[in-house]
Amino acid sequence: MYGTMAANDAFTAGVRPGGLTSSTEIRLLLCYLVKNAGPITRQEIENALMEEALVNYFEIGSCLDDITKQALVTLTGDSYTITDKGRKVAQELAYDLPRTVRERAVAAVLRCQTWARKEAKYSARITEKADGHCTVRCTVKGLDSELFCLELGAPDRLSAELVKKQFILKGNEIYQLLINKLTEEEKRIVEDAPRNSTDLTSHEIGVLLLREKYILDKIKEYQQLPPDQLITSSVTDMRVPGGRGKRKRDGANQRIGMYQKETPAQRILQLQEALNKIHGRILSAAAQMQKNEMDKLHLETEQQRLDLLRIRATGEIPDKDGDEDAPVYE
């Protein structure tokens, strides 16, 4: 099937000169991309190839379905992964494709994957109003929560899309710029805060342990009280003005006084409930710390994979100083 390249049997609408016009070439390119950049989503493949106008949009979906049915790739969730059969096809035949096509396709995929990682940390959501005006809610995420949130108004959808794109691209610069506008005391608090997720999670666990100690001390304190002793928990005091003339004062006379009291056992029960919540947060923080360590390891591995991918795509290896490249022959 892949031994002979069929010519011009694919849709070419939207394809620039030099793009792929053969369905066989498109299938080979898709195998090459999944092999070198996978796991990769359909959205990332479509965005990359459409951005470079290398393949017709409808051909991408059709050929992805073909190579999945042929067991050249597997689809798990929304991500494609190369199979042994697909890897063999890519290694033996993909280099028959023009080198410029391979390089532009891989570079576009890398940009799309980088954008996806940025969008996961710096996100922006557009809300359009009835009059056409828009609100852009920009957020910086970290530790599975929002670290920073900013809402901006835009006169129309086009302007809002521009704001969204710029925030995703330059979210870190914008965040740092706003941090620099804080007061000296606010800056000190921010600067003294832990800088990486592991230190931040460790700091949170320390604070939770202090709260745990405080609650345990209060429980011991209530355990030492007589069981029938009542402790005032809340007071509702309704007052009316009193006195006449110059002696008249607001709230001088009490009209109604309600006092809610609790026994030591009730207080202990409430503290134990709070203690259970503290223990749950400590376990969550510990699990987050472990996840952060695994994510760090994954990022290091991913960076090595991307470096290797660039070498395979360009055929060049950077020297130690990162200056001139030396060719690689496969």
**Which tokens go with 108?**
């576009």
The pair phi, psi for residue 327, each rounded to 5°, is -70, 150
Q: Nearest CA to 289 among 277, 300, 281, 299?
A: 281
Angle at 124 (CA atoms; ends 172, 120), nearest 5 degrees: 65
Amino acid 323: pLDDT:
46
Amino acid 209: pLDDT:
83
**Which tokens go with 208?**
């939770």
Q: Give residue-wise pLDDT tens across range 108-122.
A: 887 777 777 666 677
Q: What global pTM score does this model have?
A: 0.40
User: Computed from CA positions of residues 141, 146, 149, 153, in that sequence, does the dihedral angle turn out positive or negative?
Assistant: positive
The one-character DSSP state at 56 is -
- Which pLDDT tens digits describe the chain residue by residue (330 residues)? 454 445 566 677 777 787 777 888 888 888 888 888 778 888 888 888 887 788 888 888 888 888 888 888 888 888 888 898 888 888 877 777 888 888 888 888 877 777 776 666 777 888 888 888 889 888 877 655 666 788 888 888 888 888 888 887 777 777 777 766 666 666 666 566 665 667 777 777 877 888 888 889 989 988 998 988 888 777 676 666 666 766 766 666 666 667 778 888 988 898 899 889 888 888 888 888 788 778 778 888 887 887 777 777 766 655 544 444 444 434
The dihedral over CA atoms of 79, 84, 86, 90, expressed in degrees to the nearest 10, equals 110
Amino acid 3: pLDDT:
47
3-state secondary structure of 290: helix
Q: Identify whether the C-beta of residue 48 lies closer than 8 Å to the C-beta of residue 109.
A: yes
Q: Identify whether the C-beta of residue 2 lies closer than 8 Å to the C-beta of residue 40.
A: no
Query: Domains of the chain by range and CATH?
Result: 23-118 (1.10.10.10), 129-190 (no CATH), 197-237+255-306 (1.10.287.370)
Alpha helices, DSSP H, located in the chain: 23-37, 42-51, 57-69, 84-93, 99-121, 157-179, 184-192, 197-223, 264-314
Amino acid 89: pLDDT:
84
The pair phi, psi for residue 263, each rounded to 5°, is -85, 165
CB neighbour list of residue 330: distance below 8 Å, 6 or more residues apart? 95, 315
